[in-house]
């Protein structure tokens, strides 16, 4: 019983010492991810901006935790998911409005992936704060860097598949 109680005390202390900005970031991610549940129309630029921003965040999280030497493992994780997304047959066609905006179907997957990326970053930061030597453990560095990259790859693969499956309107010939 004492061990179970001490575990809860540790968790409570970790949560208590978490900076307030982290909780604001989680709230923003949750709101943004919840907006992905509804059908919406997005430009190509916006469709690509989200995967680029999340990839930059993920790469920053990897490099801040493990150093720049972890970047190749991150890139490998992203590349593996991108290749898998490219290899899978497309089951839907993304409709495109006359103004060139892609009609995106609502999905909970982006929210879940954003939570996973946030959660992984949080857990890694806490684990490294408690056990700094893990940042030099090759299996941990490679495995976690691959996972960070793979989560980023989910967003990039989704954008790629939408762009590839979209039916773009034909350009109106000049008179």
* Mean pLDDT of all residues in 20-37: 93
The mean of the pLDDT values for the chain is: 87
Residue 32 forms part of a structural domain: yes
Percent of the chain past pLDDT 90, that is, above it, reads: 50
Lowest mean pLDDT across 14-18, 31-35, 93-97: 93-97
Query: Which residues span the domain enclosing 65?
Result: 2-165
Is 172 within the bounds of a domain? no
Confidence band, pLDDT 50/70/90 cuts, at residue 101: confident
> Full-prediction pTM beyond 0.85?
no
pLDDT one-digit tens code per residue, 81-99: 999 988 877 667 777 887 8
Model confidence at 173: pLDDT above 50: no
Report d(CA 78, CA 66) in Å as an integer: 17
- In this model, does residue 153 exceed pLDDT 90? yes
47 in any annotated domain: yes
Q: Are 121 and 49 in contact (CB under 8 A)?
A: no
Packing angle, helices 109-130 and 20-35, rounded to 10 = 160
> How many beta carbons lie within 10 A of that of residue 80, not counting itself?
14
In a domain, 159, yes or no: yes
Q: Is residue 174 part of a domain?
A: no
Cα–Cα distance, 16 to 148 (Å, whole number): 26
Please give the average per-residue pLDDT across 35-53, as a whole number. Answer: 89
Domain count, the chain: 1
Tens digit of each residue's pLDDT (9 = 90 or more) over 67-80 = 999 999 999 999 99
- The token pair that represents 36 in the structure block: 């992905």
Q: Examine residue 26 and state whether it is found in any structural domain, yes or no.
A: yes
The answer to whether residue 13 is domain-embedded is yes
Domain membership flag for residue 175 = no
């Amino acid at each position: 019983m004492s061990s179970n109680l001490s575990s809860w005390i540790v968790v409570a202390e970790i949560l208590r010492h978490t900076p307030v900005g982290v909780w604001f970031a989680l709230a923003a991610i949750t709101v943004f991810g919840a907006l992905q549940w509804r059908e919406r129309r997005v430009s190509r630029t916006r469709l690509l901006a989200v995967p680029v921003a999340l990839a930059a965040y993920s790469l920053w999280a990897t490099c801040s935790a493990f150093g720049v030497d972890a970047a190749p493992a991150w890139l490998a994780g992203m590349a593996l998911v991108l290749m898998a997304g490219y290899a899978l047959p497309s089951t839907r066609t993304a409709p495109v409005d006359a103004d060139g905006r892609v009609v995106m179907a609502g999905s909970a997957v982006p929210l879940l992936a954003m939570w996973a990326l946030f959660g992984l970053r949080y857990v890694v930061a806490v684990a490294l704060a408690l056990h700094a030597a893990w940042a030099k453990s090759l299996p941990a560095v490679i495995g976690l860097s691959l996972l960070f990259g793979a989560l980023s790859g989910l967003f990039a693969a989704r954008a790629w598949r939408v762009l590839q499956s979209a039916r773009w309107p034909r350009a109106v010939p000049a008179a």
